[in-house]
Amino acid sequence: MPARRMRILTVGNTPLGLAAHLRCMALHGWGSRPVGTVREAKGLLEMLKFEIVLAAENLPDGQGYDLSEIVAQRARSLLVAVALSASVLWLPVVLQGSKVLGQRALNDNMLETEVETLLISGSSRRKAVVPAAA
């Protein structure tokens, strides 16, 4: 099994189905770390490099959307889970640093593919950046 890289931050009481997606992604080497609040998430985002933030819409100290500025500044991605009566809708709020709220929504079945795509493209983008010669 490949070594896991902590690339996904989950914030708040995320939907039950997310645990299954995270287990599957862990098999591909993508690790995750949970926190409960906006404050904890901002603290970790200041210290560590997460590619993706998956947040519940309503959190004890705010909303998942409150993370959009810090995520955008770091050219990362934020998806917020909106609980509907019988399902969950994932709203991309920031994708690789660009604010995209309102452009589209994902159902739970689409989440894992979207996250994998973002993780792979984020890894490729960093490898393509070559430092300038001194």
Domain that holds residue 72: 5-128
More confident residue, 85 or 122: 85
The domain that holds 52 is classified in CATH as 3.40.50.2300
Q: How many structural domains compose the chain?
A: 1
1-54, pLDDT tens digit by residue? Answer: 455 577 899 999 877 778 888 888 888 888 899 999 999 999 999 999 999 999
pLDDT number for residue 125: 55
Is residue 61 domain-resident?
A: yes
Is residue 45 domain-resident?
A: yes
More confident residue, 41 or 108: 41
Computed over every residue of the chain, the mean pLDDT equals 85
pLDDT number for residue 93: 96
Is residue 133 domain-resident?
A: no
Q: How many CA atoms lie within 13 A of 35 on its CB side?
A: 19
Is residue 49 domain-resident?
A: yes
pTM over 0.75: yes
| Local structure of residue 57 (DSSP, 8 states) | S
Q: How far is CA 69 from CA 11, 36, 66, 95, in A?
A: 15, 18, 7, 12
